[in-house]
Amino acid sequence: MAPQIERYHQAKEMATRGMRVADIARALQIARPTVYLYLKMPHPPGRRYCANTRTRPLDRFKPYLIHRWNEGIRNASQLCKEIQLQGYAHSFSSVSRFIALLRADSGDRAKFKQVAARALYPEPPVCTRLTTRQAARLFSLPPERLSAREDVTLQRVRQADPIFAQTYDDVQWFRTMVRERKGDQFADWCRHVQAHSTGELQRFAANLCKDEAAVVAGLTQVWSQGQVEGQVNRLKLIKRSAYGQMGFATLRQRVLLGHAS
């Protein structure tokens, strides 16, 4: 019997004898909230399973390796060099061990080079279910920074619905305005979004238009208030280091002395 199930039955039995929750927790060496939880549960707790979410460096390159294996490329050294060009920066031994598994499944390890190319493993799907954060990353990154797999995933997302394709184009247009300081396009972008884009982008554009002059200046001028924000953050850090016990005079002295040193 699992320990938590045994403690569940013991807690139930002690409660029927009239023992207090604190005494039950002390006797079983568990927390009182756990005792309350056991007493409310009509059935013993089920067994807990922890999902293995660990990822290894080679995992994202395995679909490519399987694809190349099915094309007849069986040399582990060559396959390792190919994925190194795609960003793999770890040991050759991991690639060699994975290729050894494919060789073993070929049916004849001694003559695996002569074995006709066949799909020893089914090709895994290129596009998996995306989280909101993953989709936002694909939409906001420039195309040249996407990996080959990410680019395929993005194209499949865009082809799935015309709204996705339109949203991607609008996001990339806005990213270009920010990166290349094309503030003169802001008005055209707002009109286009309000007429053709999704409700989320429309609300985003509407909020920006409330202070259009400042937004256009930020998208056009080379000046930034980063220096001011940095100094404000520095002042807050100095003041909070005194746990609320620093007045203006002491803060002024700390800033001036720190600047002088």
pLDDT of residue 51: 45
Number of neighbours of residue 62 by Cβ within 10 angstroms: 15
Task: Provide the mean pLDDT of the chain.
Answer: 83
**Dihedral, CA atoms, 190, 195, 197, 199, nearest 10 degrees?**
90
Sign of the CA dihedral running 173, 178, 181, 182: positive
- Are 98 and 58 in contact, with CB atoms under 8 Å apart? yes
pLDDT of residue 20: 92
pLDDT of residue 100: 83
pLDDT of residue 191: 93
CA distances from 111 to 115, 168, 189, 232 (A): 7, 49, 61, 69
Domains of the chain by residue range: 3-40, 59-114, 132-220
Question: Which residue is listed with tokens 């207090």?
Answer: 20
- Mean pLDDT per 10-residue interval, the chain, length 261 residues: 82 92 90 90 69 68 86 87 89 87 64 51 55 88 85 88 92 93 93 90 92 91 86 88 85 77 51
| Cα distance between residue 245 and residue 56, in whole Å | 49
- Are 201 and 167 in contact, with CB atoms under 8 Å apart? yes
pLDDT in tens, 121-157: 554 444 456 788 888 899 999 988 888 778 888 888 8
What does pTM read for this prediction?
0.45
pLDDT of residue 17: 92
pLDDT of residue 128: 55
Judged by DSSP in three states, 107 sits in: coil
